[in-house]
Structure 1
């Protein structure tokens, strides 16, 4: 047995070796096949059968495959599991290969490398989220981050020192991160949820990057787009190089790069995003996040824009005011808002349709999406009219002026185009005469032959003439020998060509019949060929206008988001915040949008609270005490979320809000370890706290919860105390500091910028009732034992905890010594549980009568009668 691979297997191995690190989908007819280790890995990942095909080096060759028509679903599974896939297609008709000889192999080549950051197919993407490919470059200690979504064309870059890389990746959540070989960014990429792809240093060459970008955008210089540093050119150039490699020369339709300034958006680090659950809940998934609670957009583009605004609230005061003005305009016109939202529901995703067309992965349905989107755009622009609000006026302008393209697509396309161009049937009747005739031949071949037969009878006068068909002659004219004499004589013999004579019949053909036969036999293929040509021309017409269509898509998203903000403001009684450049932070009646939404679903009301951190009139730091479950964490988070919403241009869940622009937002809330890096819960807490103290400026907003709780009591108190002093003296920022260390409340008398606040509770018959109301002052106790009982701890444990707490509190008041000495004197724990408390007395008749009463529904006379009635009940009971 020879160890030499077959020609086909040799071709497979050569293609696979040319695309290392990727599974190879090798096209064989109607299947993509995989062999060797690729087959073993793919069969396990996709849960499909692993078979064998031939041998290599004396061993059976593992093989598995997936149908071409269902390939996208398998690709999605592989991408989600971290694989990259190279798609090798047949580059010629197998019949052509056979002409070259029996051992010839069909020519194949990789047409695309599918990676997490380069997806464009509708089934592989989340419609309401971006799919970013990011790139990080470092040139002589100057670093930059670039990111692109090839499914929408968005392309941006910013200067980004390496310490800022993790927060920026947390903001954009790219699916894939490009970095130079040996970059050691594995941990950062993993934390951001991105697949790390390392490229050679040549991909990050800034000069080569400049040339690639100029070629990509067909310009002589990039100066028209901005002044980019060498590191920014390197980061963008690496993206262009990677797209050239993965798309095999079919470059996506990218917008010119936009340079972002680092100070343009509120800085929010990864820990804060996670703690505040901005776009993803701590439990995983979108539900339970701020994004899910406030998303009332009705288009995919609007949803993606909302996520960007929440992830990067603006610090540009003029832009914030413009966005608020647009929302206010729609809040004041509910009918217009409702009409806009209804019209927007019929607007498709033009950005992604454009991208697929540019990459030659689009179909007739994408052309239909462009037509429908531009048509709806015109309707929406007419609704807005000559709006005086700048953002809405600009959007309306971008939605107009597309009539010529709309008319072209309307004339050319059927009402509901199919998904794939190869299926045909998408060109409207009457658009192309040649196509209409070809379709008529394809669909009505018999009728066409019958009409031609009638024409021949009329022409010859031979009523017995018939047009017939067989597999040898094809279509032919047949008549009896008697009648054939007329057709064999001039002048008909010049038109009717003799083909065959049988015993009783003579057969003829004509030039027209031969041509018609050819056209009928080829009608199906010819119709598809004509439609493919029309599709190419229509796609080119769309792509020639891609920049204007992209502007229209962005305008649609802007209107959708503005209307969504207006809808939630009206529906949830949100107010327009006053945002300025001061350090004010005054919230009245503030609410947590996520918690309030959850309570509403259960039919419960949210308790609103005020917060005032304005330095100069009231302290800039609130020290918040109170028991667990009372709502401290909710209060901390809701104020941070209100700041985010305000700077995103939305109204906020409050009755009044005055917010000085927040430059940085930091949150240290919640507890979690990081075992993979060997960090305990306390270590994670300290690392996050250190980041805050080292970075927060005087326009930052900081929320801290239970600093120091992960270590011994006195250690924790000392750390919390020192952190508070640092925030007050060094950072001088606005802050909410929640703690269980009641000793810290004395700081309010020593630090001018600190004021005590607490969450109110009430005790009733041994029960603790959480009022969820934040008031001025300090808590006198933590109610930890009561909360433990509510959590379901065994009664014996709860009673024992009460004993220990009682002894410790008495000893502290009486100066009895250290806690350890006090605990040594306690009696031992009793194994038998304490007797249950005596059952509560049944309610009296007076209580029952009052419980059934609605004070708002009785008159003064009835109230007086009730007093006599209650007095009688008391007398009868005694």
Structure 2
């Protein structure tokens, strides 16, 4: 073969060069094929066979492919592994290319670039999570972050100085982040789990961004949407430009951009989100997180709204109270709440169906989803009383006024339409007269064919004669070879068409004419249905804004009902939220831990917390042994603040939460090996961030500051951190420590109180009561905890010996612990346990069958003799 590429391969290489950085899915009939390095990478990622096709520059061309009908599952795998995929489709019928000559190539072009942030297909998305595409832009001294979910149309933007970028990315968890080349955001994107896409600087031009946005929304100016900075226009423009490029000019249906004002939500940094396990557990999954523990939503949109509320608890007091009113109303009316949840359970994902229709990737089922969602929405609105809470009343108003569209879709669509419009069969009978007539001809043709087959079988005297159909010959008459001569003898009726190994095929003039009529009817019926689909799609898109409002209303009702359901089922109460610096919790519980204990049929020990601060800071210094529940206590109070400001009820008997502006958590420890940071360095970096940022309305929880270094170094750092929180930050804080020396600070600092987690000792064991009380612990019980963990007895005994020596030396004023250690006898390993004898095994087996309560005195005496015999001793 020549080293000159074939016309087809030349076309492939040209398309590949025009789409760098993406695997090219090159449509060839029923397969998407990949060649060269794309094939090698895809075959490895997808675990499919790698083959060869021809040569290029003297080397075999690697090749692999995936079926078109199953492409979505392969796309999902590639996207999750970090690939981008360009989809090159055949832009004409191959028959048309053949007419131009034998060497002509079917016209192909990329119709879409599939990236992590631009997914819309149901099978590629997580139904209960957003799929955000974000863009960060800097214009001189200004920076901004914009984000969009094209599967729902949500579009938002905010001023975002670079130091705020990491916390915001942690909140949004975008799948893809757009940035200017050389912006240096690789680490930030990786930490957020986002794929970083570098764009040329021109994509972030603010003036160009304004023009792109005006063109998108068909307006002369953006003033009607609000006032945006140049950096915000730059970030939003980059998103629109990127969507135009990846969707090849077919832009999604985006709602007008909403500017998120600074301070609208509780600030929570990435470390705090991770430590508190708000939406993801420390192990990396959703199970075990706060979100997993409290999610009672029954719609996908409601679940996404819940995640947004938990990720960004509000600070608008009137809005928080309005949301609580909605929850309270449903708590007070359980029957209404149950009815609403039952109806919501039949609501499909309207937002994503609407998005697919806007991108012309939707089908009849998406129209049916719009119909079902609006129908259920109207029923839900009808069930709400006239004096409903404001949030629910506003939602009910957005769910009305869709009767005309519902009737149209009801009249036009069958109850269960197919997935794809090209399959036909989704338009209801009696909706279109022309379609009904065409369908009758198409369907009655089958009966005519059956009658014609019986007629021809009788004429030929061949009962096994059949009329069949395939895509090459169309309709034909088929019989076995033994009847061929009889059929050929009737050449005035039967015209020979094809001979195969075992069959002879014929046709007739009458059959050919009928075939033409039937095929025309089939094609005509599909054409009519495609036209109807286009009209219905247009009717839906004409009301896209109102449908989007209805979708958001359903999500709001679902979330309120979900909060009411968990409040009723778990005994949660409405917290009092105000602008004070109060923080009072009675009988507080940790939602995720309590849920895990219930699975084990164990109860959770509730605890009180009072960090109410007037003019002074309010800090609890919490001491007590490890495993006693200090970390759980710290976290549960932070989570109660999150839930309260998210508009939910909280797991407590009573709660009064003064508005929390910032939430900081320094709990747990982990290395950051990729950046060369030890556990102690990570701890210090996170602590520094808290001390440099926390204001007097912040809530700070700190656990074991200073434990990663030498004892006196650690104590010194912990001491100084406590004093800084008290004197400079003046915030509300829970400070857990194992340095008992710090309990003396309560005598020096007015806003600090001691608290401890109660334990009891019994015969050398430690019993954890999990009760938080005022006061200080006298020791850590570390040796007892080590024993419970299963350390060898010799190690535990030696630890007690060393601890006693150190404590004795401290009481007697010893100058150096080393001197005390030198006086200790050397450690000697305990002798290995003797091997169990066969007699011991027999004794164990016999004892398993002994039930002392059932033995008479005589039987007990006999048993003693029996056991002595088994042990090898003479009675």
The two structures share one fold, judged by TM-score above 0.5: yes
Counterpart-to-counterpart distance in 2, 1:565 and 1:274: 23
1:515 deviates by 8.9
SS at structure 1 position matched to 2:586: strand
1:703 deviates by 0.1
1:521 deviates by 2.6
1:822 deviates by 1.6
CA contact (8 A) 2:177 2:197 kept: yes
Tell me what 2:156 maps to. 156
Tell me what 1:666 maps to. 664
> Which of 565, 570, 573 is matched with 1:575 structurally?
573
SS at structure 1 position matched to 2:223: coil
CA contact (8 A) 1:612 1:618 kept: no
Q: 1:432/1:587 Cα in 2 relative to 1: closer, same or farther (>3 Å)?
A: same
CA contact (8 A) 2:329 2:388 kept: no
> Which of 736, 743, 748 is matched with 1:745 structurally?
743
Q: 1:108/1:469 Cα in 2 relative to 1: closer, same or farther (>3 Å)?
A: closer
Q: 1:809/1:422 Cα in 2 relative to 1: closer, same or farther (>3 Å)?
A: same
Counterpart-to-counterpart distance in 2, 1:743 and 1:610: 24
Tell me what 2:679 maps to. 681
Tell me what 2:783 maps to. 785
Correspondence 1:225-244 to 2 at 5 A? 225-244=225-244
Tell me what 1:873 maps to. none
Q: Deviations over 1:580-614 (max 9, x none)?
A: 00000000000000000011111111000000011
SS at structure 1 position matched to 2:34: strand
Correspondence 1:280-295 to 2 at 5 A? 280-295=280-295
1:434 deviates by 1.5
CA contact (8 A) 2:377 2:399 kept: yes
Structure 1 position 394 matched with structure 2 position 394: yes
Tell me what 2:843 maps to. none
Q: Deviations over 1:620-677 (max 9, x none)?
A: 0000000000000000000000000000000000000001000000000001000000
> Which of 701, 707, 729 is matched with 2:699 structurally?
701
Tell me what 1:299 maps to. 299
- Gapped runs of 5+ residues in structure 1? 453-467, 476-500, 506-511, 837-878
SS at structure 2 position matched to 1:112: strand
Q: 1:832/1:213 Cα in 2 relative to 1: closer, same or farther (>3 Å)?
A: same
> Which of 558, 561, 585 is matched with 1:563 structurally?
561
Counterpart-to-counterpart distance in 2, 1:27 and 1:451: 42
1:831 deviates by 2.1
Counterpart-to-counterpart distance in 2, 1:29 and 1:80: 26
Tell me what 1:47 maps to. 47
Q: 1:353/1:446 Cα in 2 relative to 1: closer, same or farther (>3 Å)?
A: closer
Aligned-pair RMSD on alpha carbons?
2.4
Counterpart-to-counterpart distance in 2, 1:832 and 1:288: 41
CA contact (8 A) 1:795 1:834 kept: no
1:551 deviates by 0.3
CA contact (8 A) 1:441 1:448 kept: no
Tell me what 2:770 maps to. 772
CA contact (8 A) 2:584 2:609 kept: yes
Counterpart-to-counterpart distance in 1, 2:787 and 2:474: 96
CA contact (8 A) 1:76 1:124 kept: yes
Correspondence 1:539-550 to 2 at 5 A? 539-550=537-548
CA contact (8 A) 1:667 1:703 kept: yes
Q: Deviations over 1:374-418 (max 9, x none)?
A: 000001001113234110000001011101000000011000011
Structure 1 position 196 matched with structure 2 position 196: yes
Q: 1:631/1:513 Cα in 2 relative to 1: closer, same or farther (>3 Å)?
A: closer
Q: 1:667/1:437 Cα in 2 relative to 1: closer, same or farther (>3 Å)?
A: same
Correspondence 1:237-252 to 2 at 5 A? 237-252=237-252
Tell me what 2:846 maps to. none
Tell me what 2:798 maps to. 800
Tell me what 1:584 maps to. 582
Q: Deviations over 1:512-536 (max 9, x none)?
A: 9999764323222221111111111
SS at structure 2 position matched to 1:264: coil
SS at structure 2 position matched to 1:106: coil
Structure 1 position 90 matched with structure 2 position 60: no
Tell me what 1:810 maps to. 808
Tell me what 2:344 maps to. 344
SS at structure 2 position matched to 1:135: strand
- Gapped runs of 5+ residues in structure 2? 453-466, 477-489, 495-509, 835-875
Structure 1 position 20 matched with structure 2 position 52: no
CA contact (8 A) 2:591 2:636 kept: yes
Counterpart-to-counterpart distance in 1, 2:188 and 2:645: 28
SS at structure 1 position matched to 2:360: coil
Counterpart-to-counterpart distance in 1, 2:711 and 2:492: 117
CA contact (8 A) 1:796 1:834 kept: no
Counterpart-to-counterpart distance in 2, 1:176 and 1:701: 31
Tell me what 1:637 maps to. 635
Give aligned pairs, total. 792
SS at structure 2 position matched to 1:54: strand
TM-score normalised to structure 1 length? 0.88
Counterpart-to-counterpart distance in 1, 2:109 and 2:785: 67
Counterpart-to-counterpart distance in 2, 1:472 and 1:164: 68
Q: Deviations over 1:802-855 (max 9, x none)?
A: 00000111111111222222212211112225999xxxxxxxxxxxxxxxxxxx
Tell me what 1:420 maps to. 420
Counterpart-to-counterpart distance in 2, 1:331 and 1:618: 37
1:140 deviates by 0.4
Q: 1:716/1:263 Cα in 2 relative to 1: closer, same or farther (>3 Å)?
A: same
1:230 deviates by 0.1
Counterpart-to-counterpart distance in 1, 2:170 and 2:229: 23
> Which of 614, 620, 624 is matched with 1:626 structurally?
624
1:2 deviates by 2.5
1:448 deviates by 6.3
Q: Deviations over 1:116-155 (max 9, x none)?
A: 0000000000000000000000000200000000000000
CA contact (8 A) 1:759 1:775 kept: yes
Counterpart-to-counterpart distance in 2, 1:119 and 1:504: 58
CA contact (8 A) 1:129 1:303 kept: yes
Counterpart-to-counterpart distance in 2, 1:3 and 1:746: 85
CA contact (8 A) 1:35 1:64 kept: yes
Counterpart-to-counterpart distance in 1, 2:762 and 2:645: 43
CA contact (8 A) 1:86 1:112 kept: yes
In terms of mean alpha carbon deviation, does 818-827 or 656-665 score higher? 818-827
Counterpart-to-counterpart distance in 2, 1:548 and 1:831: 77
Counterpart-to-counterpart distance in 2, 1:265 and 1:110: 41
CA contact (8 A) 1:348 1:372 kept: yes
SS at structure 2 position matched to 1:761: strand
Counterpart-to-counterpart distance in 1, 2:819 and 2:429: 96
Q: Deviations over 1:678-735 (max 9, x none)?
A: 0000000000000000000000000000000000000000000000000000000000
SS at structure 1 position matched to 2:224: coil
Counterpart-to-counterpart distance in 2, 1:592 and 1:662: 18
Counterpart-to-counterpart distance in 1, 2:833 and 2:741: 35
Q: 1:829/1:533 Cα in 2 relative to 1: closer, same or farther (>3 Å)?
A: same
Counterpart-to-counterpart distance in 2, 1:344 and 1:110: 40
Q: Deviations over 1:777-821 (max 9, x none)?
A: 000000000000000000000000000000111111111222222
Tell me what 1:461 maps to. none
1:539 deviates by 0.6
Counterpart-to-counterpart distance in 1, 2:585 and 2:624: 20
Tell me what 1:123 maps to. 123
Counterpart-to-counterpart distance in 1, 2:754 and 2:334: 42
Structure 1 position 141 matched with structure 2 position 141: yes
Tell me what 1:256 maps to. 256
TM-score normalised to structure 2 length? 0.88
SS at structure 2 position matched to 1:118: coil
Tell me what 1:383 maps to. 383
Tell me what 1:551 maps to. 549
> Which of 531, 534, 542 is matched with 2:532 structurally?
534
